[in-house]
C-alpha cells in the first residue's frame, strides 16, 4: 500500500466512521507490599478520579491494615472499590459510578513505608490511557544523605497472536551518599533503559498535595513496544530527598505519555511513539516513531485533540486523534526501525500548557497491512 493511499484512507475517516467509542473506565490498583509497618511520622495519600484521599494510620500499622485504611477512605468518598488481595485495593469507578479516566497514584511520607505499587488494566474506552507508570526523581538540590537502593519492578504485557503475555522486569539501582539529584536521575534513567524501558521526563502532581509538582520518569513502553501495566517502586532513602510516590495510568502535567491501545505485530512487538523530554516553549521536540520494522513506510500524524474511532477494515485498530485536523509527517523507518520527527516549539508564550496529540501508522509486515500505534498526548511546558 502506498503512502498516498494510506493518507487517503486516514483523511476519509470522518466520512466512513459512523460510531464513536463506548463509555468505559480504567481499573486502577494500589498495593502495599508485605512486611511494612508505619512509624506514625507521616501521611498516606491516594490520588484517583481527580481527588486526593489522605489517610491517617497509627504507628505500628502493617501492610494489610494500611490497605484497609485506604479502602475505607476511598469508600467514604463514594468510590467503587474491590479487594482482590489482602494488600491490594482496586478502584473500578468514581463517585456515582463515574468511569475513571485519569489514572491514579499513591505516596507516603511515613518512614516505615518503603514500597508501593500501582497498576492499570487495559479495559477502558479507546482514548483513555490504558498502561504506563511514573516514578519520582529527587526534586530538590540537596545531595543524597546516605547510600541506599532503589528497586523498580514492572509488569509488562505483550500480545502474541491475540494472546496476552505478562513479563516481569526487575531493576535494582544503587545510590551513593553525596550524589546530586541530577546524578541520581541520570543513574536511574540509564539503568532503566539498560533493562529495556523507554523512559520519558515528566512532571506530575504529588499524591499527597496536588498543588505540588514533582519531577519524574515515565515508563509506558519497553523498547519492543510491550506495555507497562503495573509498577512496584521502593527505596530506603529518606523521603525528604526522594519522595515515596508512584503513579499509574495518569497523563502527566507536562511531558508526553501514551493513551489508548495500538496494534501488535505477529511476534508481539508493537510500534509506538516516544518523546524523551518535557518540551518547552522555544525548545526542541525530538519525537521518534519506534516502528519495529526496518525500511517500511509510515506516517506520523499530529492533531489537536483525542478521538476513539474504529478504523474501517481494521477491526482491532482505532484512530485516537481528531481526524478533522491532521498534519502528516510521512517517512520510511531506518535500519533500526526508527523514524525520527525532529520538531521545534515556536517561542510563543501562549503555547505554554498546549496539548498536542500524535498517532502513527506503519505499513507492514506485508504491503496490505496497516499497524497503528497508541496515541501520544504531549503537554508543553
From 231, 250, 269, the end of a domain falls on 250
Cβ neighbours for 204, distance < 8 A, ≥ 6 positions apart: 105, 134, 136, 213, 214, 216, 247, 250, 252, 253
Asked if the structure places residue 102 within a domain, the reply is: yes
Asked if the structure places residue 255 within a domain, the reply is: no
Tally of structural domains, the chain = 2
Residue 216 belongs to domain spanning? 27-124+130-250
- Does 237 share its domain with 362? no
Supply the pLDDT for residue 15: 40
- Does 31 share its domain with 17? no
- Does 92 share its domain with 163? yes
With cell 541520570, the residue in question is 186
Q: How far apart are CA 275 and CA 342, in angstroms?
A: 10
- Does 145 share its domain with 165? yes
- Does 196 share its domain with 281? no
Asked if the structure places residue 305 within a domain, the reply is: yes
From 207, 226, 250, the end of a domain falls on 250
- This prediction has a pTM of 0.90
Judge contact between 143 and 180, C-beta under 8 A.
yes
Q: How far apart are CA 187 and CA 237, in angstroms?
A: 15
The domain that holds 353 is classified in CATH as: 2.60.40.1940
- Does 173 share its domain with 78? yes
- Does 47 share its domain with 191? yes
Asked if the structure places residue 82 within a domain, the reply is: yes
From 225, 250, 275, the end of a domain falls on 250
- Does 182 share its domain with 97? yes
Average pLDDT over the chain reads: 90
Predicted confidence pLDDT, tens digits, the chain (381 residues): 444 444 444 444 444 443 344 456 899 999 999 999 999 878 899 999 999 999 988 899 999 999 999 999 999 999 999 999 999 999 999 999 999 999 999 999 988 899 999 998 866 677 888 899 999 999 989 999 999 999 999 999 887 777 788 899 999 999 999 999 999 999 999 999 999 999 999 999 999 999 999 999 999 999 999 999 999 999 999 999 999 999 999 999 999 999 998 998 888 899 999 999 999 999 999 999 999 999 999 999 999 999 998 887 777 789 999 999 899 999 999 999 999 998 999 999 999 999 999 999 998 777 667 899 999 999 999
User: 251-295: per-residue pLDDT in tens?
Assistant: 999 999 999 989 988 888 999 999 999 999 999 999 999 999 999
Supply the pLDDT for residue 271: 96
**Can you say how many angstroms the Cα of residue 99 is from the centroid of all Cα atoms in its chain?**
18
Asked if the structure places residue 256 within a domain, the reply is: no
Asked if the structure places residue 52 within a domain, the reply is: yes
Taking the CA atoms of residue 248, residue 250, residue 253 and residue 256 in that order, the dihedral angle to the nearest 10 degrees is: 90
- Does 10 share its domain with 81? no
Q: How far apart are CA 107 and CA 124, in angstroms?
A: 24
330's grid cell = 510521512
- Does 243 share its domain with 305? no
| DSSP class of 277 | S
Supply the pLDDT for residue 24: 65
Asked if the structure places residue 367 within a domain, the reply is: yes
- Does 185 share its domain with 276? no
- Does 15 share its domain with 36? no
Supply the pLDDT for residue 9: 45
User: 46-101: per-residue pLDDT in tens?
Assistant: 999 999 999 988 899 999 999 999 999 999 999 999 999 999 999 999 999 999 99
Amino acid at each position: 500500500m502506498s503512502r498516498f493511499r494510506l493518507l487517503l484512507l486516514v483523511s476519509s475517516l470522518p466520512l466512513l466512521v459512523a460510531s464513536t467509542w463506548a463509555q468505559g473506565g480504567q481499573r486502577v490498583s494500589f498495593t502495599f507490599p508485605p512486611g511494612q509497618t508505619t512509624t506514625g511520622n507521616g501521611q498516606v495519600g491516594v490520588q484517583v478520579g481527580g481527588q486526593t484521599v489522605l489517610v491517617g494510620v497509627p504507628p505500628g500499622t502493617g501492610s494489610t491494615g494500611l490497605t484497609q485504611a485506604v479502602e475505607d477512605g476511598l469508600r467514604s468518598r463514594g468510590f467503587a472499590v474491590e479487594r482482590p488481595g489482602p494488600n491490594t485495593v482496586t478502584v473500578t469507578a468514581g463517585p456515582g459510578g463515574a468511569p475513571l479516566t485519569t489514572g491514579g497514584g499513591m505516596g507516603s511520607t511515613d518512614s516505615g513505608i518503603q514500597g508501593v505499587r500501582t497498576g492499570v488494566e487495559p479495559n477502558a474506552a479507546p482514548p483513555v490511557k490504558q498502561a504506563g507508570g511514573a516514578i519520582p526523581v529527587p526534586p530538590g538540590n540537596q545531595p543524597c544523605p546516605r547510600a541506599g537502593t532503589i528497586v523498580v519492578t514492572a509488569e509488562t504485557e505483550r500480545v502474541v497472536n491475540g494472546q496476552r503475555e505478562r513479563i516481569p522486569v526487575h531493576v535494582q539501582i544503587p545510590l551513593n551518599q553525596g550524589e546530586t539529584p541530577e546524578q541520581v536521575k541520570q543513574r536511574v534513567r540509564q539503568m532503566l533503559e539498560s533493562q529495556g524501558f523507554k523512559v520519558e521526563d515528566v512532571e506530575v502532581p504529588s499524591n499527597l498535595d496536588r498543588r505540588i509538582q514533582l519531577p519524574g520518569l515515565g515508563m509506558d513502553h519497553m523498547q519492543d513496544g510491550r506495555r507497562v501495566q503495573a509498577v512496584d517502586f521502593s527505596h530506603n532513602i529518606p523521603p525528604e530527598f526522594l519522595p515515596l510516590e508512584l503513579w499509574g495510568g495518569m497523563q502527566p502535567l507536562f511531558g508526553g505519555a501514551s493513551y489508548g491501545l495500538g496494534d501488535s505485530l505477529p511476534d508481539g512487538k508493537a510500534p509506538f511513539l516516544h518523546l524523551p523530554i518535557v518540551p518547552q516553549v522555544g525548545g526542541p521536540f525530538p519525537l521518534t516513531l519506534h516502528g519495529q520494522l526496518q525500511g517500511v513506510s509510515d506516517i506520523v500524524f499530529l492533531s489537536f485533540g483525542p478521538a476513539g474511532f474504529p478504523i474501517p477494515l481494521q477491526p482491532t485498530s482505532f484512530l485516537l486523534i481528531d481526524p478533522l485536523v491532521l498534519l502528516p509527517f510521512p517517512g520510511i523507518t531506518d535500519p533500526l526501525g526508527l523514524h525520527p520527527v525532529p520538531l521545534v516549539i515556536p517561542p510563543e508564550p501562549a503555547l505554554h500548557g498546549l496539548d498536542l496529540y500524535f498517532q502513527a501508522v506503519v505499513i507492514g509486515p506485508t504491503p496490505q497491512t496497516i499497524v497503528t500505534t497508541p496515541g501520544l498526548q504531549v503537554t508543553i511546558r
